[in-house]
Structure 1
């Protein structure tokens, strides 16, 4: 479990692992990055309470480096990846180990069940769980059937295969899980999705954190495509095209109003279409409290435009 600034969720995430009651031997490796909250203190407290919890240092501070630190220290033939703000469903580990044996897969994983606790985080969770928000990746949708997959959420790995392909790419600060599964498949290994494996994911609970997250995710997705051009798809091009279309249409349309040019003013159709799409998407999402639905247009707009702007910008300078 790579953790950084996770004081709010870390104890619950670790407790969900301990509550698995897995019949085999179990260790929980917390790769702790430099944090500005009480993450380190909480992690050390958990280790004092239970000898199965081990605290490791991740001085690099990024997720793939923390994962590799933990993988290097792991003693067992199966490695279960867990997030500091994720909670495993009951029986997750036992079912995952059984699936590794049944399918022969190198990695099995399941559904990211995003759940919010406030109106804003509920709206963000709904965006994660909808193809109209995050984009419809298989492990975000409950109706995705079991079977071979391009990637899965988190993952339960055969340790020997994970080490054989070199672990996670530490130069990818985001999308490193997708890229790892890409290398597994290229090496002839099976990546398997099962909706039986569910993890409750606690999304960000602020507008600024959501915008930073999606901007950076867009940046690193473009970097993955740069390295592996065969992974490009129209789904990844939709957000940057939306940014160009709505931004360009707005600028040209406003210029048209100033210059009294009907041709240029007609460009306002592009942002108007996007606003209508966001409104229709918000209306189509069911089972949302009124306060969460009220925040949904803002959440969807940030998801689309921040991701698209990050994709246009590309890899962060110095990364």
Structure 2
């Protein structure tokens, strides 16, 4: 028996990606009378909404609603409240999905009696530059993303703490509440941690995949990872709990702080310079030979090493800024008492 499913897709300035995302939805092998696709637009300044409008004329199950505040958790909450499905599936415009994506997620959700299930996320690139290939590699490698299983894959259905683009029973939101609208980033992580805290079951499914397109140049990649690291830390402040993060989220922070402090202290005591170079050369050597053993291309491997450094250092620096912001907020809070 088919169930009504609502797809919620937060968007803003996705003109380069939106057509491929919509084409994926149109090609789903799930009866369209049991499907609605709600695009929540954060006041796009490009042709995103115009492109969607050309599809709406032919596919009435596609809708657009406006998100004046422009941030993802508010978009998700607007979409959920406007939805009519028994299940909520959060999609991303920077991704494309196989034909059986919805049918498979529903099948596994019912089979496992899960509150949320998600697919393995395969990182791909539209560009064939060495920079784009390097970013694709580090975002798919355990040396880049640690034990982020939805990026490196699993062999069997596995109960986990979080998944990308979750497929939720709608009743979950009545039970634990909606997305935390204070969190510009890390809102999915926090929601899933809250779900687990309330005895919810979340599973990563191995035979369902989606393709995700990350940023394809180091500048935008750095900015994206920096903000993610920053908001992972800030989520602890706003939720007043460390339960929204895992050990793997702290490793880039420890790495970045170790480099910065050993370098700065080296001007006081020369021995710290040795520690700095030991960390940097050891880290670089391990990751360079890791990449070379797989790609066997010196130029690409060199770009991959840069990709690792950008990924880890940007995330770590973002986390450090998040910590400083938390300290400042705590000091201001005490002064106001």
Alignment TM-score, normalising by the size of structure 1 = 0.90
Equivalent residue number for residue 64 of structure 1: 73
> 1:55 & 1:265 partners in 2: Cα distance?
56
Q: Which residue of 1 aligns with 2:15?
A: 7
- Counterpart of 1:270 in structure 2 is 279
Partner of 1:301: 309
Residue 94 of structure 1, CA deviation: 0.5
How is 1:152-171 mapped onto 2 (pairs within 5 angstroms)?
Answer: 152-171=163-182
Contact 1:114–1:125 (CA under 8 A) maintained in structure 2: yes
Q: Distance in 2 between matches of 1:45 and 1:201?
A: 24
CA distance in 1, matches of 2:123, 2:252: 21
**Mind listing any 5+ residue stretches in structure 2 that lack a counterpart?**
1-8, 330-337
Residue 93 of structure 2: aligned partner: 84
Q: Provide Cα deviations, 1:190-235, integer angstroms capped at 9, x if missing partner.
A: 1111112211001111211101111111111112334322455432
Give, in whole Å, the separation in 1 of the partners of 2:198 and 2:42: 31
CA contact (8 A) 2:180 2:191 kept: yes
2:269 paired with 1:244: no
Distance in 2 separating the partners of 1:102 and 1:48:
36
1:105-254 equivalences under 5 Å are 105-118=114-127, 119=129, 120-226=131-237, 227-253=240-266
- Whether the 8 Å contact between 1:6 and 1:39 is mirrored in structure 2 is yes
CA distance in 1, matches of 2:297, 2:22: 30
Matched with 2:38 is: 29
Length, aligned pairs only: 313
Q: CA deviation at 1:154?
A: 0.7
What's the CA shift for 1:8? 0.7
1:93-151: CA deviation from partner (whole Å, max 9, x where unpaired): 00111112111111111101111122322221211111111223111112353121111
TM-score by length of 2: 0.86
CA gap of 1:250–1:19, structure 2 versus 1, over 3 A, is same
Q: Distance in 2 between matches of 1:80 and 1:232?
A: 23
* Cα-to-partner distance string for 1:54-74 (whole Å, 9 max, x where unaligned): 011011111111111111111
Is the contact between residue 253 and residue 316 of structure 2 (CA under 8 Å) also seen in structure 1? yes
What CA distance in whole angstroms lies between the structure 1 residues aligned with 2:175 and 2:301? Answer: 46
Relative to structure 1, is the Cα distance of residues 234 and 107 closer, same or farther in structure 2, using a 3 angstrom cutoff? closer
CA distance in 1, matches of 2:42, 2:165: 18
Aligned to 2:4: none
| 1:36 CA drift (Å) | 3.0
- Change in CA separation of 1:264 and 1:142 when aligned onto 2, cut-off 3 Å: closer
Residue-by-residue CA offset, 1:235-275 (whole Å, 9 max, x unaligned): 2221111112222333444x37xxxx753542332322232
* Distance change in 2, residues 1:230/1:182 (3 Å): closer
Which secondary structure does the structure 2 equivalent of 1:154 belong to? Answer: coil
Contact 1:278–1:301 (CA<8 Å) still a contact in 2?
Answer: no
Alpha carbons of 1:158 and 1:230: their partners in 2 closer, same or farther (altered >3 Å)?
closer
In 1, the alpha carbon distance for the partners of 2:106 and 2:67 equals: 27
Match of 2:6 in 1: none
